[in-house]
Structure 1
Amino acid sequence: MFVQRGSSRSRVAIAGALSMGLVFGLSACGDSKDEEPGTGATSLAAIDCTPYKAFGDLTGKEVSIYTGIVTPEDTPHKESYKPFEQCTGVTVKYEGDKAFETQILVRAEANNAPDVAFVPQPGLLQRLVQTGKVKEAPAEVAANVDKFWGADWKEYGSVGGKFYAAPLGASVKSLVWFSPKEFKDSGYAEPKTLADLKALTDKMVADGKKPWCAGINSGEATGWPLTDWMEDFMLRLSGPETYDKWLKHEIPFNGPEATKALDAVGEYLKNDKYVNGGYGDVKSIASTTFQDGGLPILEGQCSLHRQASFYAANFPKTAKVGPDGDVFAFYLPGETADSAPVLGGGEFVAAFADRPEVKAFQTYLSSDTWANVKAKVSAGWVTANKGLDPANLQNPVDKLSAEILLNPKATFRFDASDLMPAAVGQNTFWKQTTAWLTGQDTKTTLDKIEASWPK
């Protein structure tokens, strides 16, 4: 379930989810030695070794990895490297560190960088490239990315027009959690457009329900779920090009596009008829933790909760998560049924060495081969690699996320607040939208965030 990203908001979110216990766990790979051929660890050696012969005899060589992905989420990662090690004779040395995001910069600048680092967001990749220590991706990796990923993903791994880092894992934020049983019993249908979503919400109100539940309290990171709401609506109502300009401050934070997006969020979260099912009024959203936000779905106290794929970990282990279970999710639709904007996050593979064994390992990680191996040994993991066979994924949320990410119409955009300057993305954006939720008007909110943008 773990996809680390580049802000304290994301770390708090993931840590909170994990502290509740992984809904699916890693049991899918725990007993893999007893599984049938074609599943689990017994099939990991059955890969084509041909692509790695071009790098010469690598027997006895080592490649070091440094990442923020730590125990127990590191176990399936290590398992997924075994076929490469068996093919090449290379030993992969894995180092996970919760302080990765600060220490990787320190290590790079001190000439103590690892061979490979899993970078949790494009902004950090840009800073690492500025140290002059990151190597451009080899031709084999570029070819894999051109084949298996969309141009938007390759752009996130590029800096200054040069391609450095292939995508790795991904997460989907554009989800709405719901009760499949309630939908079936009440005759509700999953919405295909934003207008459908509004109509569904109004129908639930007419049926005597408080449709939406939400929680944005996250300690020092309180407010981050609101930024996700706004980013989703910014992407849907103004399109990806405007979204890109907004996060780069090429258009003002308080412009008409942002105003429209935040007001659209307000139609849901500042509407007493719509929220906060199971907890109270609009203001109760600010005091409800993000971990608890969607739990009233299980009690029938609310019907809808917008939150990312990793939120599945917050439901009790006794709750069945799936299309015929106690709770599941649907894609937060676009303005039209033909549009497919996706807000999310992911990691990128940056290399600080260009030895043959490092290039070979980068090639493996950027391949469809690794994507399918990783899927077989992981629960709570997905990738936007087009070579992924969704049948190899371990749980329904992963499969739903893959369906969204691999939709040919999908337009993926990284979480904007993770790409903005920290003074905005991890400070005023959180704080001012929280103030907005508890009574501050839209104009004042956006003006204050705009004024905080570094000159």
Structure 2
Amino acid sequence: MRPKPLLQALGAAVACALLLTGCGDAGSDTGGTMPSGCEDYQSYGMHKGKTVSFYTAIVAPEDEPHINSYKNFERCTGITVEFQGEREFDTQVQVRIKGGNPPDLAVFAQPGLVKQLVETGKAVEAPVTVTANLKKFWSESWQGYVTVNGKVYGAPLGANVKSFVWYSPKEFKAKGYTVPKTLDELKALSDKIAATGAKPWCAGIGSGDATGWPVTDWMEEMMLRLSGPQAYDDWVNHKTPFNSPEATAALDAAGEYLKNPAYVNGGLGDVKSVASTQFQDAGLPILKGQCTLHRQGSFYAQNWPKGTDVSPDGDIYAFYFPSKDDTSKPVLGGGEFVVAFADRPEVKAFQTFLASDTWANEKVKATPGGGWISANTGMDASKLTNPIDKLSAQILQDPKAVFRYDGSDQMPAAVGTNAFWKQGTNWVTGQSTQATLDAIEKAWPR
């Protein structure tokens, strides 16, 4: 049972979130009257003429739904949000922070990096209004990703399911293929397609300074499936070495697909082309019949060309990346987290809004084409219209599902967003599994 003092503190936090009367956490009213239709925004107060910088890796055209999702917030509070999207975010955000020019708010996909920034004293502890929303709308596991030494430093934004394989339902129907239910069936399907002379898979790990990250997903999928969630957790937290036997088996299993010249790289080149192909473009050969399968997360839905029918009977759809057998259902996923580097009232107000159910539902409205979901329990899932979003929710809600957050995103930055990416790229282009894992193990902070 929760102690009474903590209940009282949480109650006070919620009251602050609702009233903002003298709490000094989500911001204070700077004067003025809100426009009509702003009932859901009264708690944030008026901050006319104030500006908040918001730095992310999201760039055009994917940035439009995000920008539209807080238009009402801007109109009602008087705050101008300066959205700054950059492809080289992962590198540049750290340069800006170390250089003393951090954004007010930044969006991170790596819990490990968030914890590193906290440890260096760069991140600002979240206001009690954000903490109240976090406790109200997210599970304990999600809360843990932004809690360091008992203190909260942010809140999640979106979520995604990574355990997807994209395919063409029309092609499957025409050729008599069936969706595989186990890893053995996935391998058998790949062999069947390769026997026709076609390359069953297409893949790409290019992503600017972040090139190599799709390799980490492949390895993590295999780690979960071959060794189970406990072994996965031990590996992610370095309770077992990065180059353990389980990890070696996982990367070798990924290599049976990514480094198999009979399997890749349909429509794009040979095995080495996997490293030079941008991940955004990697699945597109399916539409031309040049490959049949592409492993990538739910967020990949937004990369299909406009007019593509993404549905169970359409041009493109996805199936769950199968488990070892039908008794388990490991699910790899990820998300983003908002962390502040300033504590001005207007920054607290916007940070609190982004952690609310109001924003989550505004974001659903602003993303009519789909490709976005949240683990925010205040999000109305019945409003989801995109088939992939619905499939994501179905997978996450399956009683057999065992969810694990992307491993590389939880590891120290020197490993998860550096050595793992770089050595994974070297591995695709010819480096051995043993040399790859040994190099990453050496990079782990001592």
**Both proteins in one fold, TM over 0.5:** yes
The one of 180, 184, 190 aligned to 1:191: 180
- Structure 1 pair 426–277 and aligned structure 2 pair: CA distance change class (3 A): same
Q: Which residue of 1 aligns with 2:228?
A: 239
**Partner-residue secondary structure (3-state), 2:189:** helix
The one of 328, 331, 336 aligned to 2:317: 328
Q: Which residue of 2 aligns with 1:66?
A: 54
**Partner-residue secondary structure (3-state), 2:202:** coil
Identify the range of structure 1 (98-107 vs 265-274) with the bigger mean alpha-carbon deviation.
98-107
Q: Which residue of 2 aligns with 1:39?
A: none
Q: Which residue of 1 aligns with 2:434?
A: 443
Letter of the 2:298 partner, please give it.
S
- Structure 1 pair 73–217 and aligned structure 2 pair: CA distance change class (3 A): closer
Aligned Cα root-mean-square deviation (Å) = 3.6
Percent of aligned positions with the same letter in both sequences? 61
Instruction: Summarize the alignment of residues 160-175 of structure 1 with structure 2, pairs less than 5 Å apart.
Output: 160-175=149-164
Letter of the 1:443 partner, please give it.
Q
Deviations for 1:401-422, whole angstroms, at most 9, x for unmatched residues?
4444455654444433344455
- Structure 1 pair 80–270 and aligned structure 2 pair: CA distance change class (3 A): closer
| C-alpha separation in 1, matches of 2:400 and 2:136 | 16
Deviations for 1:192-234, whole angstroms, at most 9, x for unmatched residues?
3333323433444566654222234556655433222112212
| C-alpha separation in 2, matches of 1:102 and 1:440 | 25
| C-alpha separation in 2, matches of 1:398 and 1:290 | 20
Q: How many residues align?
A: 407
| C-alpha separation in 2, matches of 1:110 and 1:279 | 40
Letter of the 2:55 partner, please give it.
T
Question: Would you say 1:81 and 2:40 are equivalent positions?
Answer: no
Structure 1 position 113, deviation (Å)? 5.4
Does the aligned pair in 1 maintain the 2:63–2:85 contact within 8 Å? no
Structure 1 position 438, deviation (Å)? 4.9
| C-alpha separation in 2, matches of 1:174 and 1:394 | 20
| C-alpha separation in 1, matches of 2:255 and 2:439 | 18
| C-alpha separation in 2, matches of 1:208 and 1:330 | 24
Deviations for 1:422-444, whole angstroms, at most 9, x for unmatched residues?
55445543444444445544333
Does the aligned pair in 2 maintain the 1:141–1:362 contact within 8 Å? yes
Question: Would you say 1:385 and 2:376 are equivalent positions?
Answer: yes
Does the aligned pair in 2 maintain the 1:145–1:366 contact within 8 Å? yes
| C-alpha separation in 2, matches of 1:282 and 1:73 | 29
| C-alpha separation in 1, matches of 2:90 and 2:210 | 17
The one of 246, 257, 260 aligned to 1:257: 246
Deviations for 1:38-60, whole angstroms, at most 9, x for unmatched residues?
xxxxxxx878638x54x7x5464
Does the aligned pair in 1 maintain the 2:190–2:263 contact within 8 Å? yes
Does the aligned pair in 2 maintain the 1:152–1:412 contact within 8 Å? no
Does the aligned pair in 1 maintain the 2:162–2:296 contact within 8 Å? yes
Letter of the 2:224 partner, please give it.
L
- Structure 1 pair 144–199 and aligned structure 2 pair: CA distance change class (3 A): farther
Instruction: Summarize the alignment of residues 224-235 of structure 1 with structure 2, pairs less than 5 Å apart.
Output: 224-235=213-224
Letter of the 1:117 partner, please give it.
A
Identify the range of structure 1 (384-393 vs 356-365) with the bigger mean alpha-carbon deviation.
356-365
Letter of the 1:66 partner, please give it.
F
| C-alpha separation in 2, matches of 1:194 and 1:131 | 42
Structure 1 position 374, deviation (Å)? 0.8
Q: Which residue of 1 aligns with 2:359?
A: 370
Does the aligned pair in 2 maintain the 1:47–1:369 contact within 8 Å? no
Letter of the 1:366 partner, please give it.
A
Q: Which residue of 2 aligns with 1:96?
A: 84
**Partner-residue secondary structure (3-state), 1:49:** helix
Q: Which residue of 1 aligns with 2:294?
A: 305
Q: Which residue of 1 aligns with 2:28?
A: none
The one of 171, 176, 189 aligned to 1:200: 189
Deviations for 1:95-124, whole angstroms, at most 9, x for unmatched residues?
415365566556667876555433343233
| C-alpha separation in 1, matches of 2:200 and 2:93 | 44
Deviations for 1:120-174, whole angstroms, at most 9, x for unmatched residues?
4323322332343544334443343334323222111111232221101233332
Letter of the 1:76 partner, please give it.
P
Q: Which residue of 1 aligns with 2:130?
A: 141
Q: Which residue of 2 aligns with 1:453?
A: 444
| C-alpha separation in 2, matches of 1:351 and 1:220 | 23
**Partner-residue secondary structure (3-state), 1:341:** strand
Runs of 5+ consecutive residues of structure 1 not aligned to the other structure:
1-44
Runs of 5+ consecutive residues of structure 2 not aligned to the other structure:
1-35
